Chains A and B, each alone.
Chain A
Amino acid sequence: MGELTLRPVPTPTGRAAGPTPLNALGDNILTTSLDKVINWGRSSAIWPALFGLACCAIEMMGTVGPRHDLSRFGSELFRASPRQADLMIVSGRVSIKMAPVLRQIYDQMPEPKWVIAMGACASSAGMFNNYAIVQSVDKIVPVDIYVPGCPPRPEALIDAVIKLQRRIRGEPLVKRSA
C-alpha cells in the first residue's frame, strides 16, 4: 500500500461556486448578441416562395413530401405571394420569356432574401446551351447557394437549405450585400 496521494479538489465553478450576481437567476436568462438572435430567428423559419419552373419543381415537391420533409428544417410553408417569402428556390430552367418575371418576383420579395439556384439549369443552363434558356440564373438575380443535379435529389436540396441556414447565422446584421 503506497501513500495515498490526494489530488487537490478543483475550485468549484459555475453553479457550484455559490450564488453570484449573474447566475443567481439560474437558467432563466440567456445572454447573447443581437446579431445572433436575429440570425437564429431568420434561419430557423425560412419560407420559400413558390417558384417551381420545370422538372426540379417536381423534386422540390418531393422535398416537401412526407419522406423528405423540408418543414422539419423550418420551411413550413411555401408562400405563393413573394411579399411573404424570404427564399426563392429557382427550380428549373429559366427561359428568356420568363427572365423578366423572375426578376420582378425577386424584386417584390422584401429584404432579407436569399436565392437558391436548384439544379443544373438554374446554376448554369444545364444541358440547354441554346437560344431559349438564360445561361444561369445568376445573370439575373444574385445567388446564394447552387445545387447541382438534374434534378437534384431532395436530400441535396435539404443540404442546400441547411448550408443556407448556417450561412445566415454567420451574417452580420447591419450590412447585407445586395
Chain B
Amino acid sequence: MADVFIEPRIRGANEEETEWMDLNMGPQHPSTHGVLRVKLKLDGEVVRDADADIGYLHTGFEKSFEDKTYTQGITFSDRMDYLGPPINNVGFVSAVEKLMEIDVPPRAQAIRVMMMELARLGSHELWLGTAGLDLGVYSGFFYAWRDRELILDLNEAYAGVRMMTSFTRVGGVAWDLPDGWLDQLQRFIDLMPPRIDDFESMLTNNPIWLERLRGVGPLTGQQAIEAGVTGPMLRASGVDYDVRKAFPYCGYEQYDFDVPLGVNGDCFDRYKVRVQEMRESLKILQQAKDNLPDGPWLTNNRKVALPPRTELNTSMEAVIHHFRLVSEGFKGPVGDVYAFVESPRGELGFYLVSDGANKPYRMKVRPPSFCNLQPLRQLVHGVLVADVIAIMGSMDFILGDVDR
C-alpha cells in the first residue's frame, strides 16, 4: 500500500488515461465541508485518481503566532479547528505549560475537561448533521442543530461567546464557573441520551444509510497507521489509540470511559464510533461534574497568571505582576516541546520552539484533519463519485485545521 503514495503521476503514461475525464470538485461545493478542491479523474462514473488541492483557507496562523505573546495566541488558536475551539485552546496552553513546567490546579483541569467534552459533543453532532445532509438526510441537520444550540448556550453562559471561547489561560482557565452553570449542564446531560438514541434510530438500521456507507472507503489498521491517520478514523479501523487513554492529560485518567473501536474501517464504522463517542462524552461530563474539586481555577504562579483583581487593592507586587503580564507577557526557557490533545478529529499537536522571548519562536500545529485528508487519494481509488462524497463526509475534516 505504501507505493500508492509514492507512485509519480505522469500524465499520459497510461494509454487509457487519455480517455479519462477531469472533474473539478470545489472549492465552492456543498459537500466539501469547507473550501476544498478535489481534482478527480473519472473513467465513466468511477474515480481513477484524485488530487486534493488545499490552501483555500490558508490563514498564516503559524506566522501570526510568532508575532503574539503566549496569551494573545490563545484567541488565535480558536479559529483553527473552528468546530471545537475549546480543544484548540487547551492544546495551545498545554504546549506552553509543558515548556514552562507549570502545574494546572485540579479545578481548572476539570473545567477544561467539561468544556472539551462539550465541544466534542457539539462537533460530532454537527458532523452527523452535515455528513447526513450530503447523503440526503435533510432532517438530521435540524436534529443536530437543536442539540448543538444547547451546547452553545452552555458555552455562552461560561465564556460569554457561543463559539470562540478562548477560555484557557496559561496555568488554568480564565474564569470560574458562573452560578447555575452546573445545573444547566445537568439538565443538558439528562436531556441528551434519548436525543442521541433518537438520532441513531433514524440512521443505524436505515437501509439507505447502510447501503451508502457499508463497505465504502475501507482502511485497515495497518494502512491507517502507515497513512498517519488519527482519531475516529483510526479507531474505526480497529487501532486502539486515543490520546485521552494513552497519554492522559487534564486529569482524564480519573474518569471511567470506554474507547469505541470499529472493525472494518469503512464509513459505517466511523459513524458508529462517533455516535458511541458522543455517549462516552456524556459519561465523562457527568463524572467531571460530580467530582468537581473546589479550589483555585488559575495557578498561583504570578509570573504567568494574572493575580485576582481584589489583590490589586492591597498588594504592590500584584500590581507589578499585573502590569508586566499585560504589557509584556512572560518569557519562556529556550527549548522545544510537543504537546497534544484529542480533538474530535484526532490528535491535535502543538510543536513549540522557544528562544527565550515572550512570544513563540515557532509554533507548528500538527493538524489532525491535514493528516486524515492525506489518504484521500488512496481511498477513492476505484469508487463511484457518490462514494467520494460519503468518504469525505466520514473523514470529518475541517479546512481551518487543514490549511491553518
A positions within 8 Å CB-CB of B:
50-55, 57-59, 61-62, 65-67, 80, 82, 92-93, 95, 97-98, 101, 105, 127-128, 130-133, 150-151, 153
Given contacts A105-B28, A130-B60, A133-B60, 10 further A-B pairs with CB under 8 A are A57-B34, A58-B82, A65-B141, A65-B142, A66-B149, A67-B145, A80-B30, A92-B57, A97-B58, A98-B56
Residues of B within 8 A of A80 (CB): 29-30
Q: Are B162 and A153 interface neighbours, CB within 8 A?
A: yes
Beyond A131-B60, A131-B63, whether A101 also contacts B146 by CB under 8 A is: no
Separation of A129 and B403 alpha carbons in the complex (Å): 17
Separation of A135 and B83 alpha carbons in the complex (Å): 24
Separation of A127 and B149 alpha carbons in the complex (Å): 26
Q: How far is the CB of B354 from chain A (nearest CB, A)?
A: 21
Considering only CB atoms, which chain A residue lies closest to B27 in the complex?
Answer: A101
> Restricting to B135-161, which residues have a CB under 8 Å from any CB of A?
141-142, 145-146, 148-149, 152
Q: Which 6 A-B pairs have the closest CB atoms?
A: A65-B145, A55-B82, A132-B60, A80-B30, A130-B60, A98-B56
Q: How far is the CB of A115 from chain B (nearest CB, A)?
A: 14
Residues of B within 8 A of A133 (CB): 59-60
Q: Are B146 and A66 interface neighbours, CB within 8 A?
A: yes
Residue contacts A-B, CB under 8 angstroms, 15 given:
A52-B34, A57-B34, A62-B145, A65-B141, A66-B142, A67-B149, A80-B29, A93-B57, A97-B55, A98-B27, A98-B35, A105-B28, A127-B76, A132-B60, A151-B163
Interface membership of B400, Cβ < 8 A:
yes
- Interface of chain A: mostly helix, strand, loop or mixed: loop
Q: Are B83 and A53 interface neighbours, CB within 8 A?
A: no
Q: Are B58 and A132 interface neighbours, CB within 8 A?
A: yes
Separation of A58 and B399 alpha carbons in the complex (Å): 12
Interface membership of B222, Cβ < 8 A:
no
Residues of B within 8 A of A59 (CB): 162-163
Q: Are B146 and A67 interface neighbours, CB within 8 A?
A: yes
Separation of A39 and B225 alpha carbons in the complex (Å): 58
Q: Which listed residue, B34, B35, B145, B403, touches A66 by the CB 8 Å rule?
A: B145
Residues of A within 8 A of B141 (CB): 61, 65
Considering only CB atoms, which chain A residue lies closest to B56 in the complex?
Answer: A98
Q: How far is the CB of A147 from chain B (nearest CB, A)?
A: 15
Separation of A89 and B57 alpha carbons in the complex (Å): 16
Q: Which listed residue, B30, B55, B79, touches A95 by the CB 8 Å rule?
A: B55
Separation of A153 and B152 alpha carbons in the complex (Å): 11
Residues of B within 8 A of A93 (CB): 57, 59
Separation of A162 and B27 alpha carbons in the complex (Å): 29
Residues of B within 8 A of A52 (CB): 34
Considering only CB atoms, which chain B residue lies closest to A67 in the complex?
Answer: B149
Interface membership of B390, Cβ < 8 A:
no
Separation of A165 and B403 alpha carbons in the complex (Å): 35
Separation of A118 and B277 alpha carbons in the complex (Å): 33
Q: Are A95 and B145 interface neighbours, CB within 8 A?
A: no
Interface membership of B64, Cβ < 8 A:
yes
Separation of A166 and B154 alpha carbons in the complex (Å): 34
Separation of A53 and B57 alpha carbons in the complex (Å): 7
Residues of A within 8 A of B286 (CB): none
Considering only CB atoms, which chain A residue lies closest to B30 in the complex?
Answer: A80
> Restricting to B62-100, which residues have a CB under 8 Å from any CB of A?
63-64, 75-76, 79, 82-83
Interface membership of B126, Cβ < 8 A:
yes
Residues of B within 8 A of A128 (CB): 59-60, 64
Residues of B within 8 A of A98 (CB): 27, 35, 56-57
